[in-house]
Amino acid sequence: MTLLSSRRGRVRRSLRETFAWRESELEVWHGVKFALDTAIPTLGGLLLGQPELGFIGALAGSLFSFSDAPGALSTRLLLLLEMTGAMLIFGVLGFFLGAHSPLFWAILLGLVFGAGWLQLIAHSFSSPLRWGAIALVSTAGLPGATWSLAGMVIFAALVSATTRFTGDRFFPEAAPVVPVATDAEERSRLQRIRFCVLYALAAMVALVVGQWRGLTHPMWITTTVLLVMQPAACSSVERIIQRAFGTVLGVGAAAVTVTLFHSVWGLFVAIVVLSYVLPYAATRNYWLQTALFSWLILVLYDFASLSHFNPHLLGERLLDVTIGCLIALGAIVLAFVPLSKSRLRV
């Protein structure tokens, strides 16, 4: 009875932490920076008469903003360069190789394994590899990709570099504040390898499932796996719950937005507002960040289609994230299930 009560108490504490509302330490500049990093590439695509380029630029800009970290300006710019290089190199490889090439799968395996390993030893340096893997799977099924897409990613990187320089020069007190990653427990070499192998296999299974089901955006499943799997069981389960809950809220909000706004400029205003609020959501709770980011992504799709939104995207987003969470949960169970002591000695 005592053991059962103890377990119930741990579950209640875990749920409270999962939905905890943390205080944000961000300044006004953080929201302005996120909005600029997203809105300027979006506006650029619109002025060029190619809103789909604006979509790519906005997505790249928001990812660059999320990957910013405290430190010297030179370190932040170097991280931005690494992220840009990874997205461009592996995005091009994904497009030319395609998901049917054995080399494509070998590269994906290596990228995700490396990202998992770096999560275990230096969390802040895992972003380039992880976003490189996402770029690889995203462009593998991208029809009619052109070099202008790469140009827009470079443009978004230049915008992000400018806002980083501006913030460092004029708003030094508003250094980037990102949610602190949960420290992973000390693990043996075998345990680390097991996590990284399952991390990579889960990402590959996610892409295979998406392709097998004939989904339009199978990379959403893979992205979910890559973002929710953490080098600790508890934090991984919390992320799964938060991502699923946040996605439901974000899809619901996006459904209302695309129904009410039929003007491209109205959608642009919504994109700017959502981008401004995103960093404050990210520091409060991951479910709120997921809700706003899902909302933003779907509004960007409406923007790219010039308000000819495909309503099936709403259901597909929910389905893809759900499948990704289930795959990640299975991988987490296999990654962290205790092994016999004789097998843990490395």
pLDDT band at 171 (very low <50, low <70, confident <90, very high): confident
Query: What is the model's pLDDT at position 221?
Result: 94
Helix ranges, 67-213 (H): 73-97, 102-121, 127-140, 147-170, 189-212
Burial class (CB in 10 A: 0-12, 13-18, 19+), 280: middle
Residue 17 lies inside a defined structural domain of this protein: no
pLDDT digits (tens, 9 = 90+) for 286-313: 899 999 999 999 999 999 887 677 888 8
pLDDT, mean of residues 120-140? 81
pLDDT, mean of residues 102-109? 95
Query: What is the model's pLDDT at position 339?
Result: 54
How many percent of the chain have pLDDT more than 70?
84
Query: What is the model's pLDDT at position 283?
Result: 84
How far is the C-alpha of 229 from the C-alpha of 223, rounded, in Å? 10
Residue 5 lies inside a defined structural domain of this protein: no
Query: What is the model's pLDDT at position 18?
Result: 60
Between residues 6 and 96, the one the model is more confident about: 96
How far is the C-alpha of 55 from the C-alpha of 41, rounded, in Å? 8
In total, how many domains does the chain have? Answer: 1
At 297, which amino acid appears? I
Which pTM value belongs to this model?
0.87
Residue 59 lies inside a defined structural domain of this protein: yes
Query: What is the model's pLDDT at position 246?
Result: 95
Query: What is the model's pLDDT at position 78?
Result: 93
**Position 47 pLDDT exceeds 50:** yes
Per the CB < 8 A criterion, the answer to whether 296 and 271 are in contact is yes
How far is the C-alpha of 58 from the C-alpha of 146, rounded, in Å? 17
Query: What is the model's pLDDT at position 10?
Result: 52
pLDDT digits (tens, 9 = 90+) for 50-88: 888 999 999 999 999 988 888 889 999 999 999 999 999
SS3 at position 78 = helix
Supply the range of the domain harboring residue 285: 26-340
Residue 11 lies inside a defined structural domain of this protein: no
Tokens at 303, concatenated: 């923007």
- 84-93, 210-219, 300-309, 326-335: least confidently modelled range: 210-219
**Position 123 pLDDT exceeds 70:** no
Element (H, E) at 171: none
Q: Each residue of 207-243: b (16+ CB within 10 Å) or e? A: bebbbeeebebbbbbbbbbbbbbbbbeebbbbbbbbb
Residue 18 lies inside a defined structural domain of this protein: no
Residue 20 lies inside a defined structural domain of this protein: no
Spatial CA neighbour of 208 closest among 335, 123, 109: 109
Query: What is the model's pLDDT at position 41?
Result: 96
Query: What is the model's pLDDT at position 341?
Result: 47
**Position 257 pLDDT exceeds 50:** yes
Query: What is the model's pLDDT at position 15?
Result: 53
SS3 at position 22 = coil
DSSP class of residue 178? -
Query: What is the model's pLDDT at position 143?
Result: 66
Residue 285 lies inside a defined structural domain of this protein: yes
Q: At 218, phi and psi to the nearest 5?
A: -65, -20
Query: What is the model's pLDDT at position 321?
Result: 95
Residue 345 lies inside a defined structural domain of this protein: no
Residues with Cβ within 8 Å of residue 20, at least 6 apart in sequence: 285
Query: What is the model's pLDDT at position 212?
Result: 84
Spatial CA neighbour of 83 closest among 131, 41, 124: 131
Per the CB < 8 A criterion, the answer to whether 131 and 84 are in contact is no
Between residues 26 and 312, the one the model is more confident about: 312
Element (H, E) at 339: none
